[in-house]
Structure 1
Amino acid sequence: MSSEDIRVVLADDQPLVLGGITAILSAQPGIAVVGSAADGREAVQLVNSARPDVVCLDIEMPVMNGIEAAAEILATMDTQVIMLTTFNREDYLLDALRAGASGFLLKTATPEQLTEGIRAAASGDALLAPEVTRTLIQRAVAEPAPAAPAPSGAQWGADPQAGPQTGTEPLSERERDVLVQAALGLSNTEIGLRLFIGAETVKTHMSRILAKLQLRNRIEAVAYAHRCGIVAD
């Protein structure tokens, strides 16, 4: 393991699942699995000692579930959390978002999607499984989650092309294009291919979007875009 590797801790109460994810990630260059846990409490203790860059938490675990563990980890430690679950449940999605998770993936995700999620979280981005993006968006539009508030004083005007009227700096045309694609559930790589720009350029645009709209992460940006009418539901 090199000092530049993304350090990852895994938590899942199913040994076969835990072993499989460990094998997948250990085979990836630049990623090092530095520990694993079988329940949420053990995961919190492990994260406190191992100080990983990213934590992947199953939701349904004994002793302490993954969402409770995520909330405790993120309240005191500087790391990123990805939730992994078998179930596409709305309450899990919203609770994970409120806890501050950077990503939400189903266990049906491909190894490529899992790896991309790890790398995205480590770089400060967020990734939602395509299967759950619509569920989150529909709920965010109907009843915005407390963890994803609209920027103070910012409202979309009658012309959504114009961007927020007050409280934030307007998005450029390219930034708006990137936000639209992100709100459709595309990853940075997919956005880059669609807009004919590099993935790193997409990442730069996303960082500027978050700064301008005063949002914390990509998940909030997706919800914001739909809630404010920049993307039709």
Structure 2
Amino acid sequence: MRLLFSGRLLLLTFVVLGLVAGSVHAGPMPIGVYSTGLVPGGGALVPGGAADGNYLLTLAPAPIPVGIPAFVVSPLPPAWGANRTTSQWINPDGLGSTPATYHPGGTYNYTTFFSLVGFIPSTTVITLEWIADDNFVVPGVVSLNGFLIADSSTPPNGWTDEDWTAVTVSTATLPAAAFFPGMNALTFTVTNQQTMPSPTGPTGVQVDILSATAEPIPEPASVLLLGAGVLGLMRRRR
């Protein structure tokens, strides 16, 4: 009987160790980062002219208001690359190819927020592609929580289908301190050139999030509970 009990105890020990190993080596899981032009939480495109569900305009020259959702552009200016099936162009008001379209020259920030609560921040990896109008003088850049991401600049006048710029958001392109354990802000900075005396044309950005993952923090509670049960069983058997 004692030998049988020892065998079962050994088996339970291996189970506990396996659970611990599984919790430590949990694989990457999706985090809530979405492409432009989608409904809140992603999953479907919003119609042209409607508010984007995930991106806010957080900086813009006067008199354009900030702190409001960006809008899906419709119709698109002829020079712009097409919308993808997984992303769409957005800008301050949804206006694109119309005679009345006027977006003043200056800097525009489009920001999406996501939480890393429950995840190991330094394991975050986001891969994306983006294009913008117009970044003619100052290149457009991508930043996370104010940290500029290496090699994220769009080419000058990079708004055609050939101008998509690939960007990776990870500890390979950012310091670990750039990733916060709570809420994070991923920002796309676009510069609309001021052409005087003629007014500037439309500005906009399209971001296609290809993948966004991080590793979850191990949850030891169930493992500790099982371990306590094993110890209790050992005490009762003594």
- Same fold (TM > 0.5): no
Larger-Rg structure:
2
**Which has the higher relative contact order, 1 or 2, with Cα contacts under 8 A spaced 6 or more apart?**
2
Relative to its length, the structure with more strand (as a share) is: 2
Relative to its length, the structure with more helix (as a share) is: 1
Q: TM-score range by the shorter chain?
A: under 0.3
Using the size of structure 2 for normalisation, the TM-score is: 0.24
